[in-house]
Structure 1
Amino acid sequence: MKNLTHVVMVLFGATLYGTMSSFVKLSYAQGYNAAEISFAQAALAALLLGICTLVTREKYKERLTRKLLFSLLLTGSSIGLTNFLYYESVHYISASLSIIILMQFTWFSLLLEWILFKKRPSAVELFTVVLILIGTVIAGNIFSPEERSFSIKGAVLALLSSLTYASYIVANGRIDTGARWQSKSTLIMIGSACTIFLINCKTILAGNHFDSEFLLWAVFFAVIGTTIPTALFAASIPKIGAGVSSILMTVELPVAIICASLVLKESIGPLQVVGIVIMLGAIAAMNYYKSLKSENQKG
């Protein structure tokens, strides 16, 4: 029963993540842009998580080294870039296509570990990569003459967000830290907000949208898109394991596409559903194989 609770918490966190692209695209109708939205989301999330860190500081004692501090801020810069590039991509392509391209982080992470740490992918992992790519082409409906939302710029932005997301996952998985999740998440969000601001300072400072309506949007994205999922994942992933959690978090893909269909009225055809199922099956299989491999190595 306890494990079931943690499973539901991970699923709920991933579901919240999955809704973000549709609501970001909806906010663009109010004249907002990716730079403003992603910066406000990261900055407010850092503030909320920082308050949580301060409130609980007396219960837990920890010591953050300068090296760990720098590592967490740098890791935050990669997730900051991911959010900005991903949000920017939905300016040019559909929200459903953006999430499909973002999911390429699964094989990008394998590629990065191969290049940086000489961890060569197994035959099983390479086979699942092929399935993911096949599912992506089918689900994306890219070569269909009826696909009018395709834009090379939008696809490149989404692909870059996939690469930075893979960088975030690889870096986050290799930070050996005894830091509390509150402190770790706060520093990552500070790094995220600083990076987004540095590359978009002119756009952010020149913006005239910092009013009460924008604040409502910013709070929504910060709470629903960052703070709550971060807390849920931090509390549950250690309980059920990274392997199971990775499989559960694939729910983000169908949720994002269903949300895009309901909120943005984006059409999803039967062939696209087949492609999505192929992608989900391949991603789940890859994560399951990786978790078994990790357990065998520990054993």
Structure 2
Amino acid sequence: MLKNISATGSGILFAILGVVLFSAKAVMVKLAYTYDVDHLTLLLFRMVFALPFYIIIAFWKKPSHPQTIKTKDYLWLVFFGFIGYYLASLFDFMGLQYLKAGLERIILFIYPTMVVLLSWIFFKKRITKLQSLAILITYVGVLITFWDEIALKDESLALGSFLIFLSALTYAGYLVGSGWLIPKFGVVQFTSYAMIVSTVAIIIHYLFKKGIYIADYPIEVYALGGAMAILSTLIPSFLVSAAINRLGASTFAIFGSLGPISTIILAFFFLDERISTLQVFGMLVVISGVTLVSRKKT
């Protein structure tokens, strides 16, 4: 009994810490942009600083069921690592050049609804009435959140929102497609392999566009890159895995709703971002819809 209570308590702590640390990434990106660093260089710093840890994990933790892994599985791993962590991160960092951190997190938060829709399109999984209602609620919430911003007719807002939407879509595609590979490799192993693939893709992209030269940036840029790598990528990825292991995916989905809230709070204190009452209401509508579809899906 005490052991179960202890596991639940630590699971709740891991869930809250993991979600908050993940959410802090957008704020760190916005802070780094004040030092006139471009999105590709900043993304390179984030991934390269985390790479040694994922390489160590990849060598330390072998695949869970190596006898079931075929050559095509590794090819699929490369593909999903490319779209799930390279493209999704690239679109996210590009979009943050135009959007507030709080609004970025709200758009990203709709990815569970995209998982349901993509599963229906590609795998013919039936969408229930409850899921349909949840998806409708979620997108109405997004519309409410951006209603004041839409009235401004800001083209940069439209571009930033579209880029963040692509980030959520590619990450949802990664989740949908990689589901059948994770049991073969193991969660930790698959994540490490996918992160290595995405880092290689980012390095190739950077070399192709800018060559081997890296501009000399203030120490704050490198510090923020390292903080994103460790505090908002590496540590929360394992905290979330540990939380799901202790609480279950459906319970963790509730704590996932803290993501947009924590980002908005952090952005208020560190970026002086303000959010209107209407946007708060829209955010709550989005959270209710995503929580509903996530609980039903799990």
TM-score range, shorter chain: 0.7 to 0.9
Deviation digits for residues 49-71 of structure 1, max 9, x if unmatched?
Answer: 222444x459x986365334333
The aligned amino acid for 1:42 is M
Change (3 A) 1:57 1:254: closer
Deviation digits for residues 110-157 of structure 1, max 9, x if unmatched?
Answer: 221111101131111111111111111112244564686952211111
* Mapped contact 1:73–1:190 kept (Cα < 8 A): no
2:41 corresponds to which residue?
A: 36
> Are residues 1:19 and 2:19 paired?
no
> Are residues 1:86 and 2:96 paired?
no
In structure 2, C-alpha distance between the alignment counterparts of 1:140 and 1:150, rounded to whole Å: 13
Q: 2:81 aligns with which of 65, 76, 80?
A: 76
- Structure 2 runs not aligned, ≥5 long: none
| Secondary structure, counterpart of 1:121 in structure 2 | coil
> Are residues 1:184 and 2:184 paired?
no
Deviation digits for residues 189-221 of structure 1, max 9, x if unmatched?
Answer: 111112223444314745414775543222111
* Mapped contact 2:43–2:93 kept (Cα < 8 A): yes
1:174 Cα deviation after fit: 2.7
1:164 corresponds to which residue?
A: 170
1:225 Cα deviation after fit: 1.2
Change (3 A) 1:204 1:3: farther
2:276 corresponds to which residue?
A: 269
- Structure 1 runs not aligned, ≥5 long: 292-299
In structure 2, C-alpha distance between the alignment counterparts of 1:204 and 1:26, rounded to whole Å: 25
> Are residues 1:114 and 2:142 paired?
no
2:50 corresponds to which residue?
A: 45
Structure 1 range deviating more: 67-76 or 83-92: 67-76
Change (3 A) 1:285 1:62: closer
1:219 corresponds to which residue?
A: 226
1:295 corresponds to which residue?
A: none
* Mapped contact 1:139–1:271 kept (Cα < 8 A): yes
In structure 2, C-alpha distance between the alignment counterparts of 1:228 and 1:149, rounded to whole Å: 36
Deviation digits for residues 62-107 of structure 1, max 9, x if unmatched?
Answer: 6365334333332221222111111111111211221222223122
Give the fraction of aligned pairs with identical amino acids, expressed as a percent.
23
> Are residues 1:136 and 2:142 paired?
yes
Q: 1:125 aligns with which of 124, 131, 155?
A: 131
Structure 1 range deviating more: 237-246 or 267-276: 237-246
* Mapped contact 1:40–1:218 kept (Cα < 8 A): yes
TM-score between the two structures when normalised by the length of structure 1: 0.86
The aligned amino acid for 1:41 is R
Deviation digits for residues 231-259 of structure 1, max 9, x if unmatched?
Answer: 11222323322222233222111111111
In structure 1, C-alpha distance between the alignment counterparts of 2:280 and 2:224, rounded to whole Å: 31
